[in-house]
Amino acid sequence: MSKRLRSSEVCADCSGPDPSWASVNRGTFICDECCSVHRSLGRHISQVRHLKHTPWPPTLLQMVETLYNNGANSIWEHSLLDPASLISGRRKANPQDKVHPNKAEFIRAKYQMLAFVHRLPCRDDDSVTAKDLSKQLHSSVRTGNLETCLRLLSLGAQANFFHPEKGNTPLHVASKAGQILQAELLAVYGADPGTQDASGKTPVDYARQGGHHELAERLVEIQYELTDRLAFYLCGRKPDHKNGQHFIIPQMADSSLDLSELAKAAKKKLQSLSNHLFEELAMDVYDEVDRRETDAVWLATQNHSTLVTETTVVPFLPVNPEYSSTRNQGRQKLARFNAHEFATLVIDILSDAKRRQQGSPLSSSKDNVELILKTINKQHSGESQDNDQPDYDSVASDEDTDLEATASQAHRQKSLDSDLSDGPVTVQEFMEVKNALVASEAKIQQLMKVNNNLSDELRIMQKKASRLEKQNSTPESDYDNTPNDRDPDDLGSSRKGRQRSTVWQSDGSGPDAAEPHAAPSPVFPSTEDVIRKTEQITKNIQELLRAAQENKHDSYIPCSERIHVAVTEMAALFPKKPRSDMVRTSLRLLTSSAYRLQSECKKTLPGNPGPPTDIQLVTQQVIQCAYDIAKAAKQLVTITTKENNN
């Protein structure tokens, strides 16, 4: 950070003390709880970075600090500052409010709906208004008044607006004036440093011409931000742009064995994408890299003794309504790639980005895109796809197993090398960077406190339930949660249910697709029965976390099996078609997380293909699955207690 945060600074959304995150494009600082809501909105709404544990370009952080200190938050809360808002009952969230629904609803209204932003008078032609705003932006960026430009951008001014009379863009103007913070703000809102003006000059040219060397270097970094971020994700280094090196590409070097025809076809399809579709795919992968890295920071910085709450990680990229449904599905499928599959995709995108920029013809290289990439490539090449295909599959299918086996086999035929313009990227360096993102032993110890905390809550609830003595006889349940007894349609609806339950729980998702005509059952199990099963689940989770802490990886599978049995027994307490949407979504999260846990634990088997260092990445996924199970169990206890007390 360019300066330490002052203790007087508060969360822009709830006024809580000591905010530790920033929303870059909103110019605000936010607390952990509010950040969890921001992340679920997606980067197209809010781009979050941790203030201390995320690397920052100094001038980007300075830009956010300047906006925050100059009242940028009033842009997003304009109408709330009106005394009339108090009379109408409209107010912002406060630190004591619950995350859901209070803080979440306020944050969505504030940033997604822009409910409190100052509205311009209605005009018949919106394009004229946008043009006027963009012209104002064009003239404002020559000054240091950042909040004025942010206000114009919030109202619809275009960062890439090409002024018809001046013959240039706002970024050209800011660069000529040496306004580096304005350039940062414009770039956050999509301004392109490579755009040429009427004279054929770029903003970089004007910055150099004016002697603004720091700005010129920063604009070059912004121009290569996408590929730089992907390279840094893989090997922890960025290209030396000052010396003309613009790409670092850890390439997959093939061995003497031939690649399969399907793998060659996948690589060829990636190369044959139009520049537009290739750019879309690259941007989607960039967003997934951001999600994975922010997840790692999120898990490493939370108070895990109270982790089983309403805040959680974001399991896949949130939906962007501006994108097609097939593109959103493709984006969400990126979360299913394991570390090696995803690294392969990143490497191939870097390679092809370099080839396209340099205008090189398609090479005859044997570099391979893993077989699993063909799913993503179909999304972006316009091929037809079943719209009912689940967005996020948390349950391993036979097809997934075959794909993973093929990908692992292909991976064994490869070794990491690097672009000749940079030193070699060794396997050791690669894994050191990857392992740095994995939870530390301290994190595992903290996660174990989750179960202690939950057990304490369960004991309190059990005492209350005993005093109430409001136990009804529970009929034999037909809630079936075993994968072997489900038909494919049922399994698909369960996968969709997990997606809805983990991201859009407050949406009140529609009826279950498996049996649309089945009558929902009003019967609830007794609170004592649910607490008893939850205690069994949390005890087994504690054993699993202890095994993770002590590196007893051979204990993962038996622990996961015991957890699965306990989850099955708990789910069986509930009717197959519960009346409550919350019960249905909690049950889906519970059972699908248990299946996913088993799938992850099986990767520790001695005969499982893949390098042994992968165990660290598996452990991270195992911990996350255990967390999801504990969270779902707590939700079911809370819901059941509430219903039986009514």
In a domain, 4, yes or no: no
DSSP labels for 227-244? HHHHHHHHHS----GGGT
In a domain, 8, yes or no: no
Between 505 and 264, the more confident residue is: 264
End residue of a domain, out of 436, 452, 483 = 436
Residues 303 and 363 in one domain: yes
Residues 430 and 494 in one domain: no
When mean pLDDT is compared over 70-79, 378-387, 486-495, the highest value belongs to 70-79
Residues 60 and 143 in one domain: no
* Domain count within the chain: 4
Cα Rg, the chain, nearest whole Å? 26
In our burial notation (b when 16+ CB lie closer than 10 A, e otherwise), range 390-402 reads: bbbbbbbeeeeee
Six-digit token pair at 482?
């075993």
CA dist., res. 458 & res. 528, Å (int): 9
State the average pLDDT over residues 608-633: 73
pLDDT category of residue 314 using cuts at 50, 70 and 90: confident
Residues 336 and 408 in one domain: yes
pLDDT computed for residue 421 by the predictor:
36
Model confidence at 545: pLDDT above 60: yes
pLDDT computed for residue 437 by the predictor:
38
Lowest-pLDDT range, 143-152, 463-472, 555-564, 567-576?
Answer: 463-472
Strand partners, 415: 253
Residues 545 and 626 in one domain: yes
Model confidence at 353: pLDDT above 90: yes
Between 306 and 637, the more confident residue is: 637
CB 392 within 8 A of CB 495: yes
In a domain, 211, yes or no: yes
CB 34 within 8 A of CB 14: yes
In a domain, 14, yes or no: no
pLDDT category of residue 122 using cuts at 50, 70 and 90: low
Percent of the chain with pLDDT over 70: 66
State the average pLDDT over residues 422-432: 42
pLDDT computed for residue 548 by the predictor:
79
pLDDT tens, 81-116? 877 665 555 778 999 999 988 999 999 999 999 999
Between 445 and 167, the more confident residue is: 167
Residues 500 and 571 in one domain: yes
Residue 167 belongs to a domain with what CATH number? 1.25.40.20
Model confidence at 31: pLDDT above 80: yes
CA dist., res. 553 & res. 4, Å (int): 41
The structure's pTM equals 0.60
End residue of a domain, out of 414, 436, 458 = 436
Three-state DSSP at 46 gives coil
Model confidence at 337: pLDDT above 50: yes
CB 614 within 8 A of CB 440: no
pLDDT category of residue 232 using cuts at 50, 70 and 90: very high
CA dist., res. 319 & res. 502, Å (int): 13
Residues 267 and 359 in one domain: yes
Between 375 and 561, the more confident residue is: 561
Lowest-pLDDT range, 256-260, 457-461, 524-528?
Answer: 256-260
pLDDT computed for residue 344 by the predictor:
80
pLDDT computed for residue 503 by the predictor:
26
State the average pLDDT over residues 160-178: 97
348-351 CB contacts, 8 Å cutoff, 24+ apart: 348/267, 348/270, 348/373, 349/230, 349/270, 349/281, 349/282, 349/285, 350/227, 350/230, 350/231, 350/247, 350/248, 350/249, 351/249, 351/251
pLDDT category of residue 549 using cuts at 50, 70 and 90: confident
Model confidence at 294: pLDDT above 80: yes
Residue 179: partners with Cβ closer than 8 Å, 6 or more residues away? 141, 142, 143, 144
Residue 62 belongs to a domain with what CATH number? 1.10.220.150
pLDDT computed for residue 397 by the predictor:
32
Residues 447 and 430 in one domain: no
CA dist., res. 401 & res. 343, Å (int): 19
Strand partners, 253: 415
- How many C-beta neighbours within 10 Å does residue 139 have? 12
CA dist., res. 234 & res. 251, Å (int): 11
Q: Name the DSSP class of 25.
A: G
Residues 494 and 419 in one domain: no
In a domain, 62, yes or no: yes
Between 310 and 524, the more confident residue is: 524
What is the 3-state secondary structure of 147-203? HHHHHHHHHCCCCCCCCCCCCCCHHHHHHHCCCHHHHHHHHHCCCCCCCCCCCCCCH
Model confidence at 592: pLDDT above 60: yes
Please state the φ and ψ torsions of residue 254, each to the nearest 5 degrees: -80, 150
pLDDT category of residue 516 using cuts at 50, 70 and 90: very low
- How many C-beta neighbours within 10 Å does residue 239 have? 22
Between 494 and 171, the more confident residue is: 171
In a domain, 5, yes or no: no
- pLDDT mean across residues, the chain: 75
In a domain, 33, yes or no: yes
Q: Considering only CA atoms, which of 604, 395, 352 is closest in space to residue 490?
A: 395
Please give the residue range of the domain that contains residue 547: 441-645
Percent of the chain with pLDDT over 90: 39
pLDDT computed for residue 48 by the predictor:
98
CB 251 within 8 A of CB 351: yes
- How many C-beta neighbours within 10 Å does residue 472 have? 10
CA angle 5, 10, 11 (to 5 degrees): 110
State the average pLDDT over residues 589-618: 76
pLDDT tens, 252-272? 544 323 344 655 676 678 888
In a domain, 390, yes or no: yes
End residue of a domain, out of 436, 456, 474 = 436
Lowest-pLDDT range, 118-127, 336-345, 599-608?
Answer: 118-127
Residues 523 and 381 in one domain: no
pLDDT computed for residue 613 by the predictor:
47
Peptide bond into 101 cis (omega under 30): yes
Six-digit token pair at 373?
């990439």
Residues 577 and 617 in one domain: yes
Model confidence at 345: pLDDT above 50: yes
pLDDT category of residue 461 using cuts at 50, 70 and 90: low
Model confidence at 289: pLDDT above 60: yes
Length of the chain: 646
CA dist., res. 315 & res. 499, Å (int): 9
Model confidence at 49: pLDDT above 60: yes
What is the 3-state secondary structure of 346-410? HHHHHHHHHHHHHCCCCCCCCCCCCCCHHHHHHHHCCCCCCCCCCCCCCCCCHHHHHHHHHHHHH
CA dist., res. 609 & res. 624, Å (int): 22
pLDDT category of residue 581 using cuts at 50, 70 and 90: confident
Lowest-pLDDT range, 58-72, 165-179, 218-232, 441-455?
Answer: 441-455
Between 11 and 271, the more confident residue is: 11
Tokens 């809630």 sit at which residue? 479
pLDDT computed for residue 644 by the predictor:
80
Model confidence at 64: pLDDT above 90: yes
CA dist., res. 160 & res. 249, Å (int): 30
Sign, Cα dihedral of 305, 102, 296, 564: positive
Model confidence at 536: pLDDT above 70: yes
Residues 419 and 324 in one domain: yes
pLDDT computed for residue 123 by the predictor:
60
pLDDT category of residue 418 using cuts at 50, 70 and 90: very low
State the average pLDDT over residues 365-384: 40
Three-state DSSP at 257 gives coil
When mean pLDDT is compared over 88-102, 192-206, 352-366, 396-410, the highest value belongs to 192-206
